[in-house]
Structure 1
Amino acid sequence: MIFENNLAFAQNMDQQDPMRHLRDEFFFPQQNGAPFIYLCGNSLGLQPKTAKKYIDQQLNNWQNLAVEGWFEGDTPWMFYHKALKDLMAPIVGANSQEVSPMNTLTVNLHLLMVSFYKPKAQRFKIIMEAGAFPSDQYAIESQVRFHGYDPESAIIEVKPRAGEYTLRTADILATIADHGDEIALVLFGGINYFTGQWYDMPAITKAGHEAGAIVGFDLAHAAGNVPLQLHDWEVDFACWCSYKYQNSGPGGISGIFVHEKHFKDSSLNRFAGWWGYQEQQRFKMEKGFIPEAGADGWQVSCTQVIPMSLYYASLQIFEKAGFISPLRKKSKKLTAYLSYIIKEINKELGEEQYQIITPETEMDRGAQLSIIAKHKPKEIFKSLMDNNILGDWREPNVIRLSPVPLYNSFEDIFTAGLILLKVSKELI
């Protein structure tokens, strides 16, 4: 597509956008009486305007029904998670039995590794991306130590080549092949939080399985952002937070995926809790854990009703949008337009002040662009915030900007570019 660096072009793109009405579903933060141009959905999504309605619904149930809310009322809490499952499944390309909302992301990563990291004398290593989000690094290190191994020898990190910021798929696959008979688990992010690179998940899954390993993904930056087909790709397990692209609020509830091929595998370990016990027999309080069918059998504690109500509010907006496919069409255009605008700014400045380290090709990225600022990066980031442009900062010099198709517009991108050029000229 041929882009233009002018307001009329951006406004015309917005007029043609069939998703533009979804912007009105969200609240935008304000500063000095004006809304921010919010480009930080990769860190925390905006609040749906219906969030309060669904929280109030559950507060009213608690007020009026108290403990009977578990079984009575319009949304009995005992079964509330099922309303979410049907809406979660299309977002990650699963069937509803394969997903469940529960806990928070790293808790779920630990619980799933209890089941799917089963090291043996020869096959005990984990392959992961270098520079994964710290929580993943800590979880994997601690799981390795828990099983009695040294992280230095048990964890294989795939690093970018010298002078590069992102991983080559060929290098990931070669590493898996080279260590095939040693690998117990391949565990990657779907999209790297720092660079915004979307890994070739089907290829990684296939290579991991060919090596005899289990394959899992942390989808914190992928779920709700890019199209996923976890079931068809035969991914073994995955988990994600829902407060980034899925707008469930700070610390919002997590989700898990377990492929149905594992449902009847009685050899899998679990850290069990009563909410994962067979639903129809749960309140008999009998000894001896028998898991509920599907991903729900990995539940541990009671349904987190209030966090689920926030997630439900956002999931209904995804349903209204037609889930991921139409949003992805817009997202590719928005992100490409942002890339174009950044390059136009560099032309105006006469140098590559802003280096985009996120892959250029659409199939290798989602909504986020990670941008190295060559001169005065922190000052520029602060000035953007002072001018109502809200992205986020990563040390030592990276500004992450993420145009989210649910609520960002082409005019947002154009205006952010104008302001970035202005502050650049003032500060450099």
Structure 2
Amino acid sequence: MQFQPTLAFAQQLDEQDPLKAFRQQFIIPSANEVEKVYFLGNSLGLQPKRTKDKLQTILDDWGKLGVESFFHAEQPWMDYHDRLVGPLSKIVGCLPHEVTVMNNLSVNLHLMLVSFYRPQGKRTKILCEAKAFPSDQYMMETHVRHHGFDPADAIIEVKPREGEHTIRNEDLLQIIVQHREELALVLFGGINYYSGQVFDMQTITQLAKQAGAKVGFDLAHAAGNIELNLHDWNVDFACWCNYKYLNSGPGAVAAAYVHERYHTDPSMQRFAGWWGYEKNTRFQMEKGFKPVQSAEGWQLGTPALLLYASQLAALEVVEEAGWENINRKRKLLTEYLWYILDEVNTSQKQPIIEFITPRKETEHGCQVSMNMLQRGKEIYNALMEQDFFVDWREPSVIRLAPVPLYNTFEEVWKFGEAMKKILAS
């Protein structure tokens, strides 16, 4: 498509957008009845308007039926989980029984490491990305200490080359081969939270498994953002939060994927709880853990129904919009953002933006990270004062992420115009 840097062209794209009506299903932050431009779906997605009704239904059930709501509510609580895994399995590319909705991201990662980080002999090391999100760093650090290892020895970090912002795929794969005899686990983010780089999860998985290691991914910035095929890629496990691109609310319940080959493996080590016990005998309360023969076997305690309801509200919107349609718009919307930002750069005597997010379509999702070569914090503050929600990361990066379900092409155009005026001031 031949883009144009005009308001009329952006409005034309919005008019032709098959998902344009879905913006009305979200509460857009506003001031004095003027909607702000929210480009922070990579941090916390917006609230679907139907969320309040879903929450109220659970409260009404609780008020009318108490604990009997698990069995006798119009939508029994015992079956609520089943309504979540179907939509999520489409989003992450797996079978419904390979998904479980539980806990939060860090807790789920710890639980998965109980099962999939099994150091033995020379195989004691975890391979991860340098400067992973801090929660992942702390999780891995404390988990290897629990096994009696020094994190400085047990954790191998892959980092960009000197002077570069992203990890070269060939460097990552070479390091897997180099440490093939020592690796117990490869645990990477699907997308780096800082740079927005999408990693080649399929190739990483294939090579790591050839080396004899287990493979898992933190999909916090990938789930609901890019196309995934966890089952077909043969990934062992993955975990993600649901409050970013999946719009399930602050502190939303998280989810995990476990490949079906492990569901009936009696040798699997895990931390157990009663909600992961086989369903037909769960209420007999007997000794001896017998896991559900699905990813639900990793569940621990009684689920938080209010959090389930908030997630169902968000997933219904995704289902109605269609996951393939969302991805198509995401690609076009982000391509237009790159075009507009290039216009900003070329309007200056010298480029003001260094893009640290890869430009190749398969190597980025919604997020674009801009390393500001001049006046970074000043530009960020000015954008926020003009009601653009973007994100600042030290020392000089502004992150923004136009989300296909509620952001528009006109908002992208407005962002470019605001940047030009700020730079001219």
The Cα of 1:31 is off from its aligned counterpart by 2.6
For residues 246-395 of structure 1, the aligned pairs below 5 Å read 246-323=246-323, 325-395=324-394
CA distance in 2, matches of 1:373, 1:80: 46
Q: Deviations over 1:277-304 (max 9, x none)?
A: 0111111111110001110000001011
Once residues 163 and 187 of structure 2 are traced to their aligned partners in structure 1, the CA distance between those partners, rounded to angstroms, is 24
Q: How far is the alpha carbon of 1:383 from its aligned partner?
A: 1.0
**In structure 1, how many angstroms separate the alpha carbons of the residues matched to 2:278 and 2:250?**
31
Aligned to 2:55: 55
For the residue of structure 1 that corresponds to 2:72, the secondary structure is coil
Matching of residues 2-151 of structure 1 within 5 Å: 2-151=2-151
Letter in 2 for 1:416: F
For residue 297 of structure 1, what is the amino acid of its counterpart?
Answer: G
Q: Match of 2:411, as an amino acid?
A: D
Residue 154 of structure 2 corresponds to which residue in structure 1?
154
Find the counterpart in structure 1 of residue 421 from structure 2. 422
| Counterpart amino acid of residue 409 in structure 1 | T
- Give the CA deviation at 1:80: 1.0
What is the alpha-carbon distance in structure 1 between the residues aligned to residue 32 and residue 171 of structure 2?
49
Question: Does the residue aligned with 1:250 lie in a helix, a strand or coil?
Answer: coil
CA contact (8 A) 1:277 1:289 kept: yes
- Equivalence map 1:201-220=2 (5 Å): 201-220=201-220
TM-score (norm 1): 0.98
How far apart, CA to CA, are the structure 1 residues paired with 2:158 and 2:214?
A: 17
Deviations 1:348-382 (A, max 9, x none): 12211111110010100000000011222112111
Aligned mates of 1:182, 1:194 — CA distance in 2: 28
Distance across 2 between alignment mates of 1:177 and 1:312 = 42
Question: What displacement does 1:88 show?
Answer: 1.0
Q: How does 1:177-216 map to 2 (within 5 A)?
A: 177-216=177-216
Deviation at 1:185, TM superposition (A): 0.1
Cα distance in 2 between the residues matched to 1:246 and 1:125: 32
Shift of 1:32: 4.0
Runs of at least 4 residues of structure 1 off by over 3 A? none
- Residue type of the alignment partner of 1:337: Y
CA distance in 2, matches of 1:59, 1:72: 14
For 2:410, the equivalent position in structure 1 comes to: 411
For residues 251 and 421 of structure 1, the distance between their equivalents in structure 2, rounded to whole angstroms, comes to 36
Separation in structure 2 between the aligned mates of residue 34 and residue 415 of structure 1, nearest angstrom = 14
- Displacement of 1:268 in angstroms is 1.5
How far apart are 1:264 and its partner, in Å?
1.7
Residue by residue over 1:41-88, the C-alpha shift from the partner in whole angstroms, topping out at 9 and shown as x without a partner, is 000000001000100010000111111111111122222111111111
> Residues of 1 paired with 2:325 and 2:185: CA distance?
34
CA distance in 1, matches of 2:394, 2:271: 36
Contact 1:26 1:49 in 2 (8 A): yes
Structure 2 spans left out of the alignment, 5+ residues? none
**Does the Cα contact within 8 Å between 1:77 and 1:303 map onto a contact in 2?**
no
**Structure 1 counterpart of 2:20, one-letter code:** R
Matches of 2:23 and 2:307 in 1, distance apart?
22
2:181 match: secondary structure: helix
Partner amino acid, structure 1, of 2:404: P
Give the Cα separation in 2 of the matches to 1:348 and 1:114: 53
Q: Matched residue of 2:80: which SS? A: helix
Contact 1:78-1:303 within 8 A present in 2 as well: no
**Distance in 1 of aligned mates of 2:422 and 2:281:** 63
Instruction: Measure, in 1, the Cα distance between the counterparts of 2:264 and 2:350.
Output: 59
Partner of 1:237: 237
| Partner residue in 1 for 2:165 | 165
Aligned-pair Cα RMSD in Å = 0.9
Provide the C-alpha distance between the structure 2 equivalents of 1:308 and 1:74, rounded to a whole number of angstroms: 16
Q: Is the 8 A contact 1:36 1:388 kept in 2?
A: yes
